[in-house]
Amino acid sequence: MAPMSQPRPSLGEHTTSIDARAHVTAAAFLGRTPALALGDGTILLVDAGEPRRLTVHPDAAILVAAAEGDRLVTGGDDGRVVVTRADGTIETAANEKGQWIDAVATRGDGAIAWSSGKAVRARDAKGEVRGWSPPSSVRGLCFTPKGYRLACAHYNGASLWFPNASAAPEFLQWKGSHLDVTVSPDGRFLVTCTQENALHGWRILDRTQMQMRGYSGKPRSLAWSNDGEWLATSGAEACILWPFQGKDGPIGKAPRECAVRPARVSRVAFHPKALLVALGYEDGFVMLCRLSDAAEIFVRQCESGAAVTALAWDLDGRRLLFGTAAGEAGLVSPPA
Amino acid sequence: MTDKIPVTVLTGYLGAGKTTLLNRILSEPHGKRYAVIVNEFGEIGIDHDLVVGADEEVFEMNNGCICCTVRGDLIRILEGLMKRKGRFDAIIVETTGLADPAPVAQTFFVDQDVQNAARLDAVVTVADAKWLSARLKDAPEAKNQIAFADVIILNKTDLVSDAELREVEARIRAINPYAKLHKTQRCSVALDAVLGRQAFDLERILEIEPEFLGADDHDHDHDHEHEHEHEHGGLKHYHDEDMQSLALRLEGDVDPEKFMPWINALVQREGPSILRSKGILAFKGEPRRFVFQGVHMILDGDAQREWKPGERRESKLVFIGRDLKDEEIRQGFLACAA
């Protein structure tokens, strides 16, 4: 460990501040354009030069967002699902009148999905919309890596739904409220975060279950390493990384911990090319942690002390975008 | 604590006047902006932009606590509302007429994110003066709502005689003698009687004395006032067969080593039938008052201000619940004396 007097490596001078002026719901790169989805219903596109503010959900809040390619899909408390592109074009994909959009998901081919209350809908690349009525509200959605299939987190478990098939969705049962959902890049494991400060996982093939517990808060941010071998998670006073190398995933294995701090990790984002994870904390700190040697690099401490609520790398991992609940944001360009 | 958004829960049996009260709150010139969470949009003031539809999704926590049910939709909505922070000052949750207030209240004790962002201000129950007595006999939901309340708006008093009003008031008091009671017509009540009560703030649980004298609305009850005073001594006393309150008092100090295990075991065992509990305790060797409150099995307590010089150190507990085992609870508490 380095002596206290030695300054820690810092990327503060490589950070450009952005005044987002509203709760940052999500950060993403639309192609090469940094984009922030905000609680005042706007999207801020941070091109070189003057940032552009697009009003995509007028008089509403962006509750959820997901990005793919040059598109950002946002869901608002106005019941609308909007697709925004890097060039500033806006398309209203759906309007669930009087409802809130609780979750959105994107797929590489242009398909999107959203949930509002007890309704899940998927729109394929050709624009055909299919619906499913889950047994309870769906708070988490993601497409599986293979096939046109949607993973949905809800009360008492998760479901896997083929929008184009008439068969009933496959139901993975575990008592309690399941919030966010992710599927491993190899498509073998489905993991949810739950109300009880834990993760719950299933090996999809045989439904073997796994519980990943010990968090002090809800692990609401989940990110896979580029090789698919690690799942980085928030919700503890360190980044907790679960090993998914073997056929049994994390069953019977202990997780790794990195970047221990006196505040909880609120967002995690894995570098797209290296075993390097970016971390946002509830007290506004942003850090990087390299898995090979657990080296920590301090990026930024946001002045307000508000929680980091959004964190994203660009496609080749050259830039990192972050935002907080108090509307501060920044773009980090680490030296090569 | 100060920047937490206050949340008022509005309950009441079908037709009692919840929507009337809600519209009254929203239309008064108070300069405050409310986010309103409702189940039916129907009759809410239409030009209010922050009305959120809820679906009362109650689920059981997966923590082995059988009565620990929470409102999942409320957790989700509060999380969403926090993204609009600064655009409203307070939240009002209107429940359906048949709702049990417990899952709403428990949401504020159980979910840490909700706790960090918001605080439960009070449970306000609107009751129909004409029909409440009948509902207390045939609708357990109506009884739950009365038992759970911090504030009771006894509405539509113009539809009953003075004798009937005294009767229904006595029936309410048999179940819940601690709530503030306001007798109204068309829910005409001062807003500060309903909002900003801080009924769940431990620092505000100063006294837990019955409210038999009533917190009447002077602007509506002038003609009753005199009569009421005289009636008090002879207020009809009812005993509700299935829902009661139990008040216990112990002179002198309580041993925390005995009390804590006892109260925890009690709510674990009897939690499903204890709707609410409160206590102010003089712990041996502790210069400060220990204050706690509970909803079913969930307890929340803390040491508060110091006992004042000359203030009598005594410990008081209050329970409201179904089929309370009076004698067993009493003996258990007395055995905790230091």
pLDDT tens-place string over residues B78-118? 999 999 888 899 999 999 888 999 999 999 999 999 999 99
Cα separation of A157 and A166, whole Å?
21
CA distance B96 to chain A (A): 17
Q: Which residues of B touch A100 (CB under 8 A)?
A: 52, 77, 80
Q: Please report, as a single letter, which amino acid is at residue A104.
A: V
Q: Any idea which fold B243-334 has?
A: Hypothetical Protein Yjia; Chain: A;domain 2 (3.30.1220)
Q: Please report, as a single letter, which amino acid is at residue B68.
A: C
Secondary structure of residue A130 in the 3-state scheme: strand
- A180: contact with B, CB 8 A cutoff: no
The domain limits of chain B are 5-233, 243-334
Q: Which residues of B touch A196 (CB under 8 A)?
A: 61-63
Q: Which residues of A touch B53 (CB under 8 A)?
A: 98-99
Number of residues that this document lists for chain A: 336
Comparing alpha-carbon positions, the chain A residue that sits nearest to B107 is A195
pTM: 0.90
Could you tell me the two tokens for B312?
């009598």
- A115: contact with B, CB 8 A cutoff: no
The residue among B187, B124, B192, B189 whose CA lies nearest residue B152 is B124
- To the question of domain A220-336 being in CATH 3.40.50.300, the answer is no
Range in A255-264, A295-304, B126-135 with the lowest mean pLDDT: A295-304
Cα separation of A277 and A259, whole Å?
10
Instruction: Tell me the pLDDT band of A7, cut-offs 50, 70 and 90.
Output: low
- At the top level of CATH, which class does the domain B5-233 belong to? alpha beta
- One DSSP character per residue, A30-99 reads ETTEEEEEETTSEEEE--SSS-EEEESSTTS-EEEEEEETTEEEEEETTSEEEEEETTS-EEEEEE-TT-
Instruction: Tell me the pLDDT band of B213, cut-offs 50, 70 and 90.
Output: very low
Question: Which residue intervals of A124-260 are DSSP H helices?
Answer: none
Q: Answer whether residue B2 shows pLDDT above 70.
A: no
Quick check: A136 and A179 in contact, CB under 8 A? no
Chain B residues whose C-beta sits inside 8 Å of any chain A C-beta: 41, 49, 52-53, 55, 57, 59-63, 70, 72-73, 75-77, 80, 82-85, 111-113
Q: Answer whether residue A74 shows pLDDT above 60.
A: yes
* Mean of pLDDT over chain B: 86
Q: What residues are paired with A35 via a beta bridge?
A: A28, A45
Torsion of CA A255, A260, A265, A268, to 10 degrees: -60
CB-CB under 8 Å, A25 with B83: yes
ipTM: 0.91
Quick check: A174 and A209 in contact, CB under 8 A? yes
Q: What is the predicted pLDDT for the residue at B216?
A: 42
Per 3-state DSSP, chain A is made up of helix, strand and coil in percentages (nearest 5) of 0, 50, 45
Q: What is the predicted pLDDT for the residue at B219?
A: 39
Q: Answer whether residue B215 shows pLDDT above 60.
A: no
Q: Answer whether residue B223 shows pLDDT above 80.
A: no
The domain limits of chain A are 220-336
